[in-house]
Each structure stands twice: as structure tokens, then as C-alpha cells.
Amino acid sequence: MPAADDLDQQIIDSIRILALADRAWLRSIGDLHGISATQVQVLDLACNSPRERRRVSAITRELNARIAAITEAADILVERGMLTREADESDLRATILNPTPLGRRTNATAYITAPSLTARLRRSPATHKVPAYNLMLNTLADLYNDDTIETLRSCLTCRFFRPAEVDGKVSKCWKLKEKLPPDKLRIDCKFYAAGEAE
């Protein structure tokens, strides 16, 4: 156990416990539909990702999982009639997962954030949440930059991001021409582009 005054370790332990709670929630959602927690996540990504991110390999990276585990999860979702497989014409070795109407209906009822956690956060003031969110974003960006995590479509790792110190008083998105104050920074943006700022 960490020393009582080791705040860094206590934050890490808190994140681990949150991750366990999230996994338990995913399992309970999966139980309602007769699928596993991993299958809930695969279905969610297949329902909410653009085509290029619905490849089995892309979903594997997104979930930081093993390819065999995601292939097996996809097989079961196909068997249950929630997904179909499509050969990728641009890469014949790749498979794209498409949700069926049943898959979309199932996913719509499997909102994957525990309501108790959402409700708790809604009650917390922004003055507590904004610094916490920024600590998370900066830590994730560091982990992405040293290759500990493979996928992170956040403003802090996007080539369109202009930090406040470079371009005025507030950070901006060069692509969307929007101001990005600390509470508006995105963690998963569909306009994200990897690479160094231009």
C-alpha cells in the first residue's frame, strides 16, 4: 500500500478503482444482453466510429487489446446478429465491422457510462472538474508521446491545436477556428489529425 501522503500513488490507485468500476458496469450492461464487457465495447465502437476505425485492427488498437480477443468478440457479435463483417477493398487482409439494426438497438440501450458516476460528476463544481480534466489530458498526452498508449485523439496531441502561449490568450483549434479554453479541450475528436503542429 502507498504511504498515506503519497498523493501521486493515491491518484493512480483512484484511477485503477475507477477503471474497475467501469469494467463492472460494462459487465452488468453486457449481462442484460448476453454479451461480455469486451463485446459491449466492440459493439459501441462499431456503432459510433467512422468506417476506417471499424477495422478489427483499429478497434484492437483503440481498446489496447489483443487481436485474438477482439476477433473472438467480433465473431460472437456476428453470431448474435449484432454485427456483419465486410472485406476491406483497400486491404484484402482487413475486415470492417458494420452494426446491424439489432446491434444499433442494443448499443443504444447500452450507454457505457455508469449513471451513478455521471450523476456524481454532474454535482461537482467546474472549479474542481476543470483542473482534474486538464491533469488527465496532460498525463494522457505524455503517455501517448512516449508510446505507452497507441491511440489518443485529443487536442493536446493534435496538429491543429494552437496552445495559448503560441497564439494569443486562449488555446485554439486551427481547423475548426474555435477557441479552446481548458474545459473545451477534446479528448476524442472526429476532426483530430496526428502529427506536429504546422
158 binds ligand SF4 (CB under 6 A): yes
> How far, in Å, CA of 108 to CA of 103, rounded?
9
Amino acid identity for residue 5 in this structure: D
Centroid of chain to Cα 79? 25
| Three-state DSSP state, 25 | helix
Beta carbon of residue 118, minimum distance to ligand SF4 (angstroms, whole number): 23
- Of 35-43, 48-56, 132-140, 188-196: span binding ligand SF4 (CB under 6 A): 188-196
- Of 6-14, 59-67, 119-127, 156-164: span binding ligand SF4 (CB under 6 A): 156-164
Element (H or E) spanning 1, and its range?
none
56 binds ligand SF4 (CB under 6 A): no
User: What long-range pairs does 139-144 form, CB within 8 A, spacing at least 24?
Assistant: 140/187
Give the residue with the Cβ less far from ligand SF4, 54 or 186: 186
144 binds ligand SF4 (CB under 6 A): no
- Of 16-24, 84-92, 96-104, 169-177: span binding ligand SF4 (CB under 6 A): 169-177
Beta carbon of residue 70, minimum distance to ligand SF4 (angstroms, whole number): 25
46 binds ligand SF4 (CB under 6 A): no
Q: What percent helix, strand, coil does the chain show, rounded to 5?
A: 55, 10, 35
Give how many residues touch ligand SF4 by CB under 6 A: 11
DSSP class of 6: -
Selected binder of ligand SF4 within 176, 181, 183, 197 (CB under 6 A): 176
137 binds ligand SF4 (CB under 6 A): no
Q: What is the dihedral of CA 92, 66, 195, 155, to 10 degrees?
A: 120
> How far, in Å, CA of 138 to CA of 160, rounded?
17
Binding site for ligand SF4 (CB under 6 A): 155, 158, 160-161, 173, 175-176, 186, 189, 191-192
